[in-house]
Chains A and B, each alone.
Chain A
Amino acid sequence: MPGLTIDLTIYDDEEALLAGLRRREPDACACLIKRFAPLVYAQALRLLGDADEAEGALQQTFIKACDKLDTYEGRSGLGSWLYRIATNEALMLLRQRSPRVAIDHVADTIQADEIPQHLTPWTLDPAAAALNSELRATLEQALMTLPETLRIVFVLRDLQGLSTEETAAMLGLGESAVKVRLHRARLRLRELLSTYMQEH
Chain B
Amino acid sequence: MTCEEVIAHLSSYLDHEMDAALAAEMQEHIAQCRNCRVVLDTTQRLIVLLHDEGRHIIPMGERSALFDRLQQAFLNRPPASDSNTTV
Contact = CB atoms under 8 A, between A and B. Distances in A.
Partners in one complex: yes
Interface size for chain B: under 10, 10 to 19, 20 to 34, or 35 or more residues? 35 or more
A121 B64 contact: no
A120 B67 CA distance: 46
Given A119-B35, A119-B39, A158 B70 contact: no
Interface residues of A, number: 65
B84 A70 contact: yes
Contact of B73 (A34, A38, A59): A59
A91 to B, nearest CB: 17
B87 interface: yes
Given A73-B87, A139-B49, A3 B68 contact: yes
A182 interface: yes
A26 B71 contact: yes
B85 A22 contact: yes
Contacts of B55: 39
Given A39-B55, A158-B54, A179-B17, 14 more contacts: A1-B68, A21-B74, A33-B74, A37-B60, A38-B58, A55-B63, A58-B70, A70-B80, A72-B87, A73-B87, A126-B52, A130-B53, A159-B54, A190-B42
Interface of A: 1-4, 21-22, 24, 26, 29-30, 32-34, 37-39, 41-42, 45-46, 55, 58-59, 62-63, 65-67, 69-70, 72-74, 110, 115-116, 118-122, 125-127, 129-130, 135-136, 139-140, 158-161, 164, 179, 182-183, 186-187, 189-190, 193-194, 197
